[in-house]
Structure formats: structure tokens, C-alpha cells
Structure 1
Amino acid sequence: MYKPLISVVITVYNEEDNIQPLLAATYSALSEIDYEVILIEDGSSDRTVAEVKKYANSRTKLIIFNRNFGQTTALAAGIDMATGEYIATMDGDLQNDPTDIPVMLQKAIDEEWDVVAGRRANRKDGFVLRKIPSKIANWVIRNTTKVYLKDYGCTLRVYKSEIAQGMGLYGELHRFIPVLAKQQGAKMTEMDVKHHPRIHGESKYGLSRTFKVMSDLILMLFFQKYFQRPIHLFGGIGIISFLIGSLINIYLLIIKLMGNDIWGRPIMVLGFILVLGGIQFITTGIIAEIIVRTYFESQNKKTYTVKSVYQGVLDPLPEVQ
């Protein structure tokens, strides 16, 4: 099957005024490369679809959703459809610059990177509502996940296709794509890219996403440390809780045997709660272990990834007589 060198995946949602300049800039930037462009129309209510059909060339595919599913799902659909050896992702609002893609692609090829992530060197967004929350989020994600990128919010990235197609994008995890890639053992770097102010349309993001980011961060930390061994998390908490609760109850039993009244003491309630909570955590860990095994075995998934296999080409040594 024919495979272009790179598939460029672009998500668009209510971007009718941006489509013509977006496609023109993308085609111009990729003119010296064997490419395909995949546009994912995420349930727009304006004329985005009509504009794409009007200006798309023969190397462009348009995926039309029947409603708005969100950026993560749109990226996942585009990546699934991509056939290139490398996959680039970018937003459709003209803030990312497609002229950066050939440079990032060449860096990935020459230096053998699995992921080249964009870093907005001179970001053209509002300072209070966009830059400050972004800097805080980047610092938190970087220091909790130990994936040391400076800009998690930049959609412009280039991946080897096997890395991009193995990430498993769900919910709103597009902000944590570098973390998902790192879990596959991806070799990753970051480089400065251009960033432009939004000219047409409105931003789809605001401060309301802060709580979503923090919730997804908790999920990512769980995936990083305990996805294949959830009993180590739930079992550890459960054992500690059960032991503390048991010690409290033993203490209360001793003072009861000494003739003291223990009824109605808050510590007695705490002891029972800790014992029952400990049992529940341990049980949850066991159930989670069963689910993990079902997840891997039912789909013939492996708990490891192989980067490459080398077959020797030298003739075997002669047998010793």
C-alpha cells in the first residue's frame, strides 16, 4: 500500500474563515515533501465543511463528525486514518505555522527522534487568561510526570507513525500526549516553533479547563506508575488503612477489658471506618488486577513494546573438530 512520508492531521471546529489560508499555507509548506493532509471536522455549526470541500486538493482527506466530540477524539480519528511514515498534528486556527513541519520532520529523520514537539517561543496569547495558567500547568505536569517538556499545550508535533497510533487517545488526554508517548518508550525532543495571533474565530479554551487538566493529570500519574500493577496502589493504601484501624480497635478492646466505657468515642468510629476502608481498597486492587489482565489478554496486547529486532548477517563460525 502507498505510504506518504508524512500525514498532517489538522482538527477544525467552526473555522470557516481560516480554512482557505490554512490549506494554502499547508500546501505551500509541504510542496517539497511527499505528504497527505487529513482534516477532522469536529461537528462545526458554520460553513467549515463547505470551505474545506471548496479548497481541498487531491492529497487531502476530510473526516466529518456528526457532532462535536472534542479535540482528543478528533486527533485520534485523524491518526487512525493516517498512512504516512510520520504523523504531524496541528490546530486549524492558523496559530500554528505549517512551515515548521518540514524542519521538525527533518530533525526527526536526521537525529532519529520518535517525537519532535513544538515549543511556542513567542506565544501570541493573552498573558493573564492564557499564558499564566499555561505556565503553571506546564510546571505541574513536568514535575509530576517527569517528562521534561516546556510546552504541553502546543499541538504542533511530529511523531513516528507507530508511536502516534499506539498512544490510545481517550477523553481529553491530548494535553498529555507526550506522557502517553513516553510510556511507549518514545525518544523525544522539543524545538522552538512559530506562533501567530488568532485572526478569525474565537478560542475554544478558557480557565474552565483547569479542573479537567488536574483530573487528567491524576489519571496520567496512575497510568505511569500503576497501570500494569494497580494492586500496588490500592493494596498498599488498603493494608495501611487496615493495620491502623486494627491497632485502634485492639487499643479500644484493651481499655474495654480494663473496665472503661468506649461507647460513643469518635476513635471507635474511626477504627471501624479504617478497617472497612482497608478491606475495600484491597478488594478494589484485586478487581483492578483482573481488569488489567482482561484488557491485555482479550486484545492480545503486550505489556511491553519492542523498538527493533536485529538479525545477524555474518556466517556462523566453523564447528570445532
Structure 2
Amino acid sequence: MEKNLKRIKMKISVVVPLMNEEDNIKYLIEEVEKALKNFDYELILVDDGSTDNTVEEIKKYMNDKTKLIILNRNYGQTSAMAAGIEVAQGDIIVTIDGDLQNDPSDIPMMIEKLNEGYDVVAGIRAKRQDEPVRKFLSKIANKIIRKITGVHITDYGCTLKVFKKDVAKNLQLYGELHRFIPILAKIYGAKITEVPVKHHERKFGKSKYGFNRIFKVISDLMYLVFMQRFGQKPMHFFGTVGFIMFSLGALIDLYLFILKLFGESIGNRPLLTLGTLFIIGGIQLITTGFLAEIMIRTYYESQNKKPYIIKEIVTKNG
């Protein structure tokens, strides 16, 4: 494999979002350098509002291939990853966690796999070194995501992924969407495969993941399912649901009208209120569909604004 890899002349950009990882910086830079010694590469470290000495440690150990991006505050892993991808100049873009649980030595193997004709290669954490509860919840979440989206990726939580440049640059990462990159890539039209990768115990620092993220993940998943199925035609969703509600309301009111014709009293019937609510709700949903269509067109035609602000970009040579 090494022989084949030496023939690959494309530049590699390794993007690493970081938040309070001061103890991992030295080893991270060393491991990436060791893994990619036969490649033309750049290491992009994105500081996402660290409150420890992460920035100082990066400046201390960075080499000529290291680029430090400092965000003006904490935005979250997705925005930090998006900032790194924006700055990346490589033909191939790699995303990897900064806690050294992912192993940079897997990158060459994944690049070789990418060059078999794929657009994205996703990692599967083999022999995952995390707490049993976290692994159990992750397994359930992966199964639910696969079932709902139809995108059959084994390990959505593995940050280690390799992309062709055009795919990575068009992911449109917001919120907590870094977890759903394979879905975003699929929406873009990418050809995706996955390979087993190594996974290590965290040696330094603390995990940033907690149960409070579950609701954010659920919200983003709902958004992605909508975008996947109705992203370019939201009227197909709102219009269909609105038409069904409007029709039910109209049928209920027609039934009550017929009863009235035959002399029945309808003034105190709950169906009267229900039918009216269905009609009003249906009209509102259809109107929402029209507004969503207009917003979609505005979104695609508007300026490309970013959900983060880059405070500074630092290189070894200033």
C-alpha cells in the first residue's frame, strides 16, 4: 500500500476541531506528522473558544504544516469543523477528533480507499473504547438514524472521515450536523463507503459529550429528514398535510350541514369546533408551504454567510 500511496500527489488537509485539549496537542501534531510523512499535507487546528492553554500549546508545538484557526468564541464542534473546511486548501479533506481516540495512522488506508472511486470514506470505530452506556446509546441512535434516513452508515458518531474536496466544501454544516455528515453527503450526491478504524481510550482531558446533546441531535435529525425528502420542494410536505387537514375539516362541516338540513341541532357538537380547526390549520399549513418555498429560493440565491467568526489565523511563519 505504501508504494501506491507515494504515487498520490494530491494535497491532504486534516481538520481538527479543538476545545480544551491542551494535553493532547503535542501528541496530536506528532502522530499526524508520523502518519502523513509521505504526503503533501496541512494540519488545520481549529480552537473553538478554549479556556485552557490549548492555543498556547499549539503555538508551542506547531510546525510548518500546521495552521491554527482561532474562533472568537465557542460555537460548537460543527461550526469549528466548518471553519476548518472553509480554510482547507487540500484536494482531500480529513476530519478527526483532537482527543487522540481516533488514530491518524488510519488516514493513509482511508485515502487509498477513497481513490477506489468513492467521494467519502467514513470510519467505523472497531473495538470502541468508551463507557458501556455511551456505546449502548450510540448503537440505538445509529439504528434509528439508519431506519429514518435510509442512509446505512454503521457508526455516525465517528469523526474520522475522508472526503473529496468538492463534497466537504458543500456540506453546509450548521447546528450539530457534524454527526449527520453522511446524510448531508448523500443529499449532495456523494458515493460513500466505510472502513473499520482503530479507537483508543482518552488519555487526557474530559469528554465534551453529555445527555444534554440528545435533544439537539433529535432536532437536527428531524430537520435533516425534512431536507432529505422535501428540501427543494417544502410545499410537497406542507401542502399535502394542509390539504388533508383542510379536506377533513370540510367533510366534517359538510356532515354537520347535512344534519342541520334535517333539523338536527349542531350548536353544541364538538365536531363543529374540530372541523373549523382543521380547515384553519390546513389553510395555515398551505400558506406555510408557500412561505417555505419563497425562503428556500431566498436561501439558494442569497449571500453565503457563515455561522461563525474567525478571529485569527496563525501559521508557523506568521
Matched residues, number: 296
Aligned mate of 1:88, from 65, 87, 94: 94
Check if 1:34 corresponds to 2:45: no
Amino acid aligned to 1:112: G
The CA deviation at 1:296 is 2.5
Task: State the shift of 1:214 in Å.
Answer: 1.4
| Equivalent residue, structure 1, for 2:286 | 282
Corresponding letter in the other structure for 1:236: T
CA offsets 1:132-163 (integer angstroms, 9 cap, x no match): 11001100111111111100000000000100
1:155-166 aligned at under 5 Å gives the runs 155-166=159-170
Does residue 246 of the first structure (1) align with residue 250 of the second (2)? Answer: yes
Q: Specify the alignment match of 1:263 in structure 2.
A: 267
**Among 216, 219, 226, which residue is 1:222 paired with?**
226
1:269-289, Cα deviation, whole Å (9 max, x unpaired): 110100000000111111111
Secondary structure of the structure 1 residue equivalent to 2:43? strand
Q: Which residue is equivalent to 2:149?
A: 145
1:113 aligns with 2:107: no
Find the counterpart in structure 2 of residue 64 from structure 1: 70
Shift of 1:297: 3.6
Cα distance in 2 for residues equivalent to 1:68 and 1:48:
13
Q: What corresponds to 1:319 in structure 2?
A: none
Tell me whether 1:170 sits opposite 2:177 in the alignment.
no
For the residue of structure 2 that corresponds to 1:37, the secondary structure is strand
Deviation of residue 239 (structure 1)? 0.5
1:195 aligns with 2:177: no
User: 2 CA distance for matches of 1:62 and 1:298?
Assistant: 30
1:56-88 Cα deviation digits (max 9, x unpaired): 001110001121100000000000000000000
CA contact (8 A) 1:4 1:36 kept: no
The aligned counterpart of 2:132 is: 127
- Note the residue ranges of structure 2 that are not aligned, 5 or more in a row: 1-8, 305-318
When the two structures are superposed, what TM-score results if normalisation uses the length of structure 2?
0.91
* Counterpart in the other structure of 2:277: 273
Residue identity (%): 58
TM-score normalised by L of structure 1: 0.90
The offset of 1:298, in angstroms, is 4.1
State the 1:212 CA deviation: 1.5
Q: Which amino acid aligns with 2:285?
A: F
Say which is worse superposed, 285-294 or 143-152, in terms of deviation. Answer: 285-294
Residues 276-317 of structure 1 show CA distances to partners (whole Å, capped at 9, x for unaligned) of: 0000011111111122222224469xxxxxxxxxxxxxxxxx
The Cα of 1:258 is off from its aligned counterpart by 1.8
Distance in structure 2 (CA, Å) of the matches to 1:119 and 1:152: 8
Stretches (4+) displaced over 6 A: none
Within 1, Cα distance between the matches of 2:238 and 2:57?
A: 51
Which residue is equivalent to 1:6?
12
| 1:224-268 alpha-carbon deviations (Å, 9 max, x no partner) | 110111111000001100000001011111112222221122111
Alpha-carbon separation, structure 2, partners of 1:11 and 1:271:
52
Structure 1 counterpart SS, 2:28: helix
Aligned AA for 1:5?
A: K
Q: In 2, distance between residues paired with 1:299 and 1:23?
A: 36
